[in-house]
A and B are shown apart, each in its own frame.
Chain A
Amino acid sequence: MSFVAPRRAFIVAALSLIPALALAHGPSRQKVVEKIEIDAPPAKVWAIVGNFGDMGWLPGVAKTEATGGNTPDQGKRKLTLVDGGTIDETLTKYDASAMSLSYRIEHVDVKVLPVNNYSSTITVTPGEGGKSTVEWKGAFYRGFMNNDPPPELSDEAALKAVTDIYKAGLAALKAKAEAK
């Protein structure tokens, strides 16, 4: 059986190919779901988050440049962050009656946000007593696209970065929507 090679040789062969695979994503897709209850009517909350062309409610965003409005696949926005980093996003679904929109990141430097293949959905649902619940969920791969990531581009780093954004974003949204 000359085809039978030692297993170690496979691993060496695999490692030698890593630089050629820079466009691949990691093996394990990650997900984050964050929710918040807001003491404001759903329509008021949706008026803020339902405008894809203005991400000004998210802390850290200095500027939103948008085209295509709230039309799926045509709505595009470029977020410029306070520290100068940029994120290019495309609206992929928009349902005003269900108060839900989905988008994906077309381009971001992993130094700005350590993720790949990021997609996200924000949904506003009516709560009790005229309140609202907002759910923000994301699916993505880590920043490093192969085995053995450095710590800053690991699954944990990606999860922390997205979770922190969602928590801060939802808290800021709550403050804005509840303001008289």
Chain B
Amino acid sequence: MKEQVFAAVLAISAVAAPARADEAFVANQTGDDLTIVELSTMTPLATIPIGGKPAGVAVSRDGSRVYVTSPEGHFLSVIDAAARRVAKKIETGGGPLGVAVSPDGSRVYVADMYGGGLIEVDPATEATRRVEIGAMPAGVAATPDGKTLVVAARDDNALVVLDAKSLVRLARIPVGRHPYGVTIDAEGGRVYSANVESDDVSVVDLAERRLVANVPVGSHPYSVALAKGRVFAANQYAESVSVFDARSLKPLATIKVGEYPESVAASRDGAVIYVVNWFSNELWSLDAATLKISAKAATGDGPRAFGAFIRAVN
């Protein structure tokens, strides 16, 4: 009996003090702040005031910095992730929305939705460069080697491919209607766009710069996550996550989630998919293998967390 109690206490303490688990940085647009959620227990750890109706999130590869866009405040917040505080704010003008970080952490790429451009920011010096993209740039992603950028030109129904060093435009690839979130696979081979108005996900071959297929998903998909050779799309109006096989492009499942899901991201090891539900103010986790919902956590009001919002804690 005594031993059992002792074992139980050990088990509880192991749960309560996880070994440096990963974290989600969830920007709450209505609440004007950001919730940090510890992911092994799905427990909110801290709330950081942001302002300017924050929407886009990008975590640096080393996990030290988190970048958050505020489209109505017209600035980019640089967050010291370990200290859980805003280190500085960098004015961008326009309507900063989608955001991505170069793999080496030296550059941050911000889509200026109203200005129609992409702004490259050096977060150390705050120096900026700008390149024109098209109508309503939304999501941004960098290839794992950092050499190539992909931007969704939402109202042009196209993805724009750029050379990251020169910011020279390499290609403009027509996709479905109103591409929003863009996600590049770990090999840098394919990019996926969630197309809000055509209710599909475009699969694009980056090397060949051509559209492979438009795969039907649910109503109003906003973003895409990749794990276990599967593609996960968050469907805002359908309130579901569509899953299809990345190779065969055949549908695997439709999973009911919270209200108005917008952003999805995968854990580092690809075991878990995290879904941010904008209307119901929740972060949900689902098992990428079994496709079952595993846990839920409360966020602030109106969570967007548009982008790569999972922080790997090493």
Answer whether A11 and B94 are a contact pair too, CB < 8 Å, given A21-B135, A27-B113, A137-B279.
Answer: yes
Q: A10–B279 contact, CB under 8 A?
A: no
Query: Using Cβ atoms and an 8 Å threshold, which residues of chain A touch B94?
Result: 10-11, 14, 147
C-alpha gap A119/B239 in the complex (Å): 12
| A24 CB within 8 Å of chain B | yes
| B117 CB within 8 Å of chain A | yes
Interface range for A: 20 to 34
C-alpha gap A11/B75 in the complex (Å): 12
Q: Which residue on A lies nearest to B71, using beta carbons?
A: A27
Query: Using Cβ atoms and an 8 Å threshold, which residues of chain B touch A7?
Result: 91-93, 128
Q: Which residue on A lies nearest to B94, using beta carbons?
A: A14
Query: Using Cβ atoms and an 8 Å threshold, which residues of chain B touch A30?
Result: 30
Q: B279–A14 contact, CB under 8 A?
A: no
Answer whether A5 and B130 are a contact pair too, CB < 8 Å, given A10-B92, A27-B95, A28-B29.
Answer: yes
- Residues of B in contact (CB 8 Å), total 34
Query: Using Cβ atoms and an 8 Å threshold, which residues of chain B touch A119?
Result: 237
Q: Which of A1-55 contact B (CB under 8 A)?
A: 1, 3-5, 7-8, 10-11, 13-14, 17-18, 20-21, 23-24, 27-31
| B163 CB within 8 Å of chain A | no
**Which of A8, A17, A31, A92 sits near B114, CB closer than 8 Å?**
A17
Q: B128–A5 contact, CB under 8 A?
A: yes
Q: B29–A29 contact, CB under 8 A?
A: yes
Q: Which of B147-195 contact A (CB under 8 A)?
A: 155, 167
Q: B302–A31 contact, CB under 8 A?
A: yes
B contact face: mostly helix, strand, loop, or mixed: loop
Q: Which residue on B lies nearest to A16, using beta carbons?
A: B115
CB distance from A85 to the nearest CB of B (A): 25
A-contact 0/1 string along B224-245, CB 8 Å cutoff: 0000000000000100000000
B-contact 0/1 string along A72-107, CB 8 Å cutoff: 000000000000000000001000000000101000
| A139 CB within 8 Å of chain B | yes
Q: A29–B114 contact, CB under 8 A?
A: no
| B129 CB within 8 Å of chain A | yes
Query: Using Cβ atoms and an 8 Å threshold, which residues of chain B touch A27?
Result: 53, 55, 71-72, 95, 97, 113
CB distance from B306 to the nearest CB of A (A): 11
Query: Using Cβ atoms and an 8 Å threshold, which residues of chain B touch A11?
Result: 93-94
**Which of B113, B117, B155 sits near A13, CB closer than 8 Å?**
B117
Q: List 8 A-B contacts (CB under 8 A).
A: A4-B128, A10-B115, A11-B94, A14-B115, A17-B114, A21-B135, A28-B71, A31-B278
- Extra contacts, 8 of them, besides A13-B130, A21-B136 (Cβ < 8 A), are A10-B128, A13-B117, A14-B114, A28-B53, A31-B279, A92-B237, A102-B237, A139-B260
Give B residues with C-beta under 8 Å from A.
Answer: 29-30, 53, 55, 71-72, 74, 91-95, 97, 112-117, 119, 127-130, 135-136, 155, 167, 219, 237, 260, 278-279, 302
- Considering the complex of A and B, which 8 residue pairs feature the smallest CB-CB distances, nearest first? A14-B115, A27-B71, A11-B93, A14-B94, A3-B129, A28-B53, A10-B93, A24-B136
